[in-house]
Amino acid sequence: MARVGVFICHCGENIGRTVDCPAVAEAAGRLPGVVESVDYKYMCSDPGQQMIKDAIKEKKLTGVVVAACSPRMHEPTFRRAAAEAGLNPFLLEMANIREHCSWVHEDREQATAKAVDLVRVMVEKVKRNAELNPIRVPVEPTALVIGGGIAGIQAALDVANGGKKVVLVEKSPSLGGHMARLSETFPTLDCSQCILTPRMVEVAAHPNIELLTYSEVTNVDGFVGNFEVTIKQKARYVDPDTCTGCGACYQKCPVKKIPSEFDAALGSRTAIYTPFPQAVPNKPVIDAEHCLMLTKGKCGLCEKVCPTGAINYEDTDREVTRKVGAIIVATGFQLWDHSAYGEYGAGKLADVIDGFQFERLLSASGPTGGEVRRPSDGQVPQTVVFIQCCGSRDPKRGVEYCSKICCMYTAKHAMLYRHKVHDGRAVVFYMDVRAGGKGYDEFVRRAIEADGAEYVRGRVSRIYRRADGKLIVRGADTLAALPVTIEADLVVLADAIVPQTRSAELAQMLGIAYDMNGFYSEAHPKLRPVETATAGVFLAGACQSPKDIPDSVAQASAAASKALGLFSNPELEREPIIARVNETTCVHCRACINACPYTAIDDYDITDRNGNVIRTVARVNEGLCQGCGTCVAVCRSNSIDLDGFTDEQVLAEIATLE
Amino acid sequence: MTTIGYYPGCSLHGTGRELDMSIRAVAEVAGVILTEIDDWNCCGASAAHSLNHNLAVALPYRNLALAEEQGLTEVLAPCAACFSRLKGTTVRLRRSDALLETMRGITEHDYHGTVRILSMIDFGSRLLDEGLAEKLTAPLDGLKVAPYYGCLLARGEEIVEGYDAEQPTGMDAALEAAGCEIVPWNFAVECCGGGFSMSLTEAVVDLSNAILTDAEEAGADALVTSCPMCHSNLDMRQRTINEAGLGPHNLPILYLSEVLGLAAGLQPERLGLDRHFVDAMRVAERSA
């Protein structure tokens, strides 16, 4: 005979405001099989959990229903408490009377009635619950890090220094990401390359890190602790083992006018190239799209000059697979394309550039050797206008959110420009300055007060090029309530931060969620900021939301510690919510095998004692099954049931609602 | 033969006579019959909506209702202000049944929303589709033009439908079909001074001067507009601008329909080119 305890939580005011909790407890107390029914202000608190534990022991409960928040929030908490009191944790169920009831209803009477229904449903279910035991699966203590920018580098180093193996996959030929392109970094103005390149070298040299550059993840199978990842290594046409990185090849390459990705198209590169002199690995690749040998079959100069015979025009893409236990996604961001703004020249004005282009003009390793010279005619601009929020906070044509880092880097740009061009004028148009962060507001004040950047609060309505080459910038000074017109030589747009072009594709491969803007979603916006809703997949850096370097590094270290935590045990417990085939009734129609999205079901031969196959049936791999229930729905002979969600349980839940 | 309704509004019977003449002439070449709405009234222009909201909708509403009653499904409103008022009213009526009811009460006309209002830009592309393209036998080879849209031909997102307010290109196809070369310039959607021509002439002088200057610096031989108000500011006020010590300008201001008419080989006098303040007849000589 079932002995069920029901515990109704007020969640402070969250539930209690809309649902009459004592009335729900009283109604639940009258349900058949319920021997204890109480309500309490905070059931998840220590005294609340103690109430449950005491009742389990004193009333010899065989099942517990906690009516409170979503099971996603506190089911593990309450199941742990039940286990501590000696009850199998899977004999505890939650009725969600917060998200599914009090938060979405206003009428107290109706909400209370619905809460009673939700409790009754779970009471009927828990009476039919069976004891289940967690499944233990081995953990492969290797992390896959996707993306070799600062976030990926930091995460890889932290995991590797924690003694675990790392596979770091980077799509471009070198580590470094966007940070390698920056001149100096806010708020301390230390040289970006100087602080980054030692870390890049450390990654390449680390015995625990396998570095796969010029590679992309193409498939992800498996589950937490046991992912199987397929990685495409793009053809480099240069054997990295024999290449010494001497550079003879790219000095001789006749195709020289390819816009350099690293220099934001302000400089050019050859067809065989390393993206920048400090690249890691410092081994060139051939850009197959532009190479004369690969496109037209003639040239072969690099092969002739290579002293080690490392060039191989026959190279092809290769696929490799790696087994990993955790995945850290650090794919970063790109800039929004401002050609959507016709009023800013639709991307056609040479001297209206984006933030990365200005970084390259400031950088000592940039196309102008660190002198600020404008793209159209190479002149040093005497007036530079910086426009913040270009595409950001514009739900109509750009993006709705604030890109977070632009206020700071614009202040830095204005400051560095004034350091380089002492008599130059730096004008910044802003909506409002958002400089929250350690030393950040002080930095912006310094740009204004010490370095003389002119800050104008207002938007720019139009930029056009006058016949004499001046860029006419027209806008509003909303503090002075006056229209302003500035004759500028260069305009720098702080374009919005947006996710990488193929971010959604990767999310679907990994089975993680992304928001309406394409940024990856964390499991909880406050309490689980680096985990995704998919176990074993963690986030680092700007792929989750716009972030500066300190935030990206902090999140990368957090993601690494999550991975290391996962690797600290050789085995992993996972919920035993899996499908089970009744092998005596299975007719081996294979419908479930075809339907399973996780390829967790396979043929199984039942043999007699002599080893002869008598029958073939379907069997579920406990390690792979995710408990989705698809097979249960398609089974024609009703031979599959889902532990924890059996037909008997579900039908009883439905029946009690009538 | 295609029939298109015609709403000339006040301008085309007054300062915009050339626009009226050239529209009728090119429509005839294209084989399109223009049927003027019988008993049309003022569109309300810039005056009505600053006085009374219902009046501002009721005036265009009556015109729409008359057009519908007279069996017209499309109506050309060449003046940019008329276009904006009439088309804007169709948009407002689509949004609100209550407004439709009010208007039925005020005007005692039942309008059912069947009339589509065409701007000059819509009309230009429409004529090309109707066969005008093959009849442009005297292209203005290499005439460099700056297409000018001003305010109301590019703005009002739901009204202009599909044109980019900041980079409109609606006139490009018709101008290119007429053999013109379009110069890239910056002032295509700037304000000419609009209705301040009389009350605040200095503003018009400043604003129109900037437009003319940019068009000339871009190398334009002529500026092409589709709005009679812009035309009067840029053409008629050019002398005032020069007298104010700006410029000096000498830039012919053409209507899109005049350009199409010239390219179709029509006599410039029939298009009203001889009526311009700034000599526009010299453009006619470019016509092959």
Give me the interface pTM, i.e. the ipTM. 0.77
What number is the average pLDDT over the span B101-129?
Answer: 92
pLDDT at A535 (0 to 100): 86
- Report the alpha-carbon distance of residue B63 to residue B69 in Å, rounded: 10
**A655 assigned to some structural domain:** no
What number is the average pLDDT over the span A43-57?
Answer: 95
The alpha-carbon gap from B229 to the nearest alpha carbon of chain A, in Å, equals 23
Assign B243 a pLDDT band (cuts: 50, 70, 90): very high
| DSSP string covering A52-88 | HHHHHHHTT-SEEEEEES-HHHHHHHHHHHHHHTTS-
> B217 vs A464: CB contact, 8 Å cut-off?
no
Q: Which residue range(s) make up the domain with A274?
A: 248-305
Residues A191 and A324 in one domain: yes
**A71 assigned to some structural domain:** yes
Q: Which domain CATH number covers A610? A: 3.30.70.20
The domains found in chain B, sorted by start residue, are 2-120 (1.20.1050.140), 137-284 (3.40.50.11810)
Whether A370 has a pLDDT exceeding 80, the answer reads: yes
Residues A343 and A482 in one domain: yes
Tell me the pLDDT of chain B averaged across its residues.
91
Whether A511 has a pLDDT exceeding 90, the answer reads: no
Of A498, A526, A556, the position where a domain reaches its end is A498
Residues A424 and A359 in one domain: yes
**A386 assigned to some structural domain:** yes
For chain A, give the percent of residues with pLDDT over 90: 88
Residues A345 and A428 in one domain: yes
Of A96, A127, A158, the position where a domain reaches its end is A127
- Report the alpha-carbon distance of residue A108 to residue A110 in Å, rounded: 6
Assign B48 a pLDDT band (cuts: 50, 70, 90): confident
Residues A224 and A341 in one domain: no
φ, ψ for residue B143 (rounded to 5)? -65, 120
pLDDT at A568 (0 to 100): 95
B217 interface with A at CB cutoff 8 Å = yes
For chain B, give the percent of residues with pLDDT over 70: 99
What number is the average pLDDT over the span B244-257?
Answer: 92
Instruction: Say how many domains are in chain A.
Output: 5
Q: What is the pLDDT of residues B143-195, one digit of tens each?
A: 999 999 998 888 888 888 877 788 888 899 999 999 999 999 999 999 999 88
pLDDT at B288 (0 to 100): 53
- Cβ–Cβ under 8 Å, residues B19 and B228: yes
Residues A49 and A120 in one domain: yes
- Cβ–Cβ under 8 Å, residues B136 and B264: yes
- Report the alpha-carbon distance of residue A77 to residue A48 in Å, rounded: 11
Residues A372 and A258 in one domain: no
Residues A352 and A471 in one domain: yes
- Cβ–Cβ under 8 Å, residues A126 and A64: yes
Of the candidates B232, B236, B189, B187, the residue with the CA atom closest to the CA atom of residue B212 = B187
Residues A384 and A490 in one domain: yes
pTM, rounded to two decimals? 0.80
- Cβ–Cβ under 8 Å, residues A136 and A572: yes
Of the candidates A658, A615, A616, A622, the residue with the CA atom closest to the CA atom of residue A642 = A622
Q: Smallest Cβ distance to A467: which of B164, B166, B217?
A: B217
Whether A623 has a pLDDT exceeding 80, the answer reads: no
Among B166, B190, B213, pick the best mutation site for testing chain A contact (most A Cβ within 10 A): B166
What number is the average pLDDT over the span A340-364?
Answer: 93
Collect all residues with Cβ–Cβ distance below 8 Å to B82 and sequence separation of at least 6: B7, B9, B11, B43, B45
Whether A626 has a pLDDT exceeding 90, the answer reads: no
Residues A325 and A338 in one domain: no
Provide the terminal-to-terminal Cα distance of chain A, rounded to the nearest Å. 23
**A83 assigned to some structural domain:** yes
Of A450, A481, A498, the position where a domain reaches its end is A498
- Report the alpha-carbon distance of residue A596 to residue B167 in Å, rounded: 52
Collect all residues with Cβ–Cβ distance below 8 Å to A490 and sequence separation of at least 6: A351, A353, A372, A374, A381, A383, A384, A385, A471
Q: How large is the C-alpha radius of gyration of chain B?
A: 19
Q: What is the pLDDT of residues A519-536, one digit of tens each?
A: 999 988 888 999 998 889
Is the torsion defined by CA of A592, A594, A598, A599 positive or negative? Answer: positive
For residue B72, how far is the Cα from the chain centroid?
A: 20
Tell me the pLDDT of chain A averaged across its residues.
94
pLDDT at A367 (0 to 100): 92
**A239 assigned to some structural domain:** no
φ, ψ for residue A575 (rounded to 5)? -60, 135
**A135 assigned to some structural domain:** no
B186 interface with A at CB cutoff 8 Å = yes
- Cβ–Cβ under 8 Å, residues A203 and A156: yes
Assign A572 a pLDDT band (cuts: 50, 70, 90): confident
Q: Which residue of A has its CA nearest to B189?
A: A343
The B residues from 121 to 180 touching A (CB cutoff 8 Å) are 164-167
B191 interface with A at CB cutoff 8 Å = no
Residues A481 and A350 in one domain: yes
Please tell me the number of Cα atoms within 13 Å of A372 on its side-chain side: 28
pLDDT at B32 (0 to 100): 92
Whether A622 has a pLDDT exceeding 90, the answer reads: no
pLDDT at B222 (0 to 100): 95
Least confident residue range of A45-54, A373-382, B142-151, B193-202 = B193-202
Helix (H/G/I), strand (E/B), else coil: A379:
coil
Chain A residues whose beta carbon lies within 8 Å of the beta carbon of residue B165: 342
**A574 assigned to some structural domain:** no
What residue type is assigned to position A372 of the chain?
V
Q: Smallest Cβ distance to A343: which of B166, B214, B218?
A: B166
Residues A364 and A327 in one domain: no
Among B149, B151, B167, B187, pick the best mutation site for testing chain A contact (most A Cβ within 10 A): B167
B218 interface with A at CB cutoff 8 Å = yes
**A67 assigned to some structural domain:** yes
Assign A453 a pLDDT band (cuts: 50, 70, 90): very high
The angle, 0 to 180 degrees and rounded to 10, between the axes of the packed helices B17-30 and B256-263 is 40
Reduce the secondary structure of chain B to three states and give it as a string. Answer: CEEEEECCCCHHHCCCHHHHHHHHHHHHHHCEEEEECCCCCCCCHHHHCCCCHHHHHHHHHHHHHHHHHCCCCEEECCCHHHHHHHHHHHHHHHHCHHHHHHHHHHHCCCCCCCCEEECHHHHHHHHHHCCHHHHCCCCCCCCEEEECCCCCCCCCHHHHCCCCCCCCCCCHHHHHHCCCEECCCCCCCCCCCHHHHCCCHHHHHHHHHHHHHHHHHCCCCEEEECCHHHHHHHHHCHHHHHHCCCCCCCCCEEEHHHHHHHHCCCCHHHHCHHHCCCCCHHHHCCCC
Q: Which domain CATH number covers A558? A: 3.50.50.60
For residue A470, how far is the Cα from the chain centroid?
A: 43
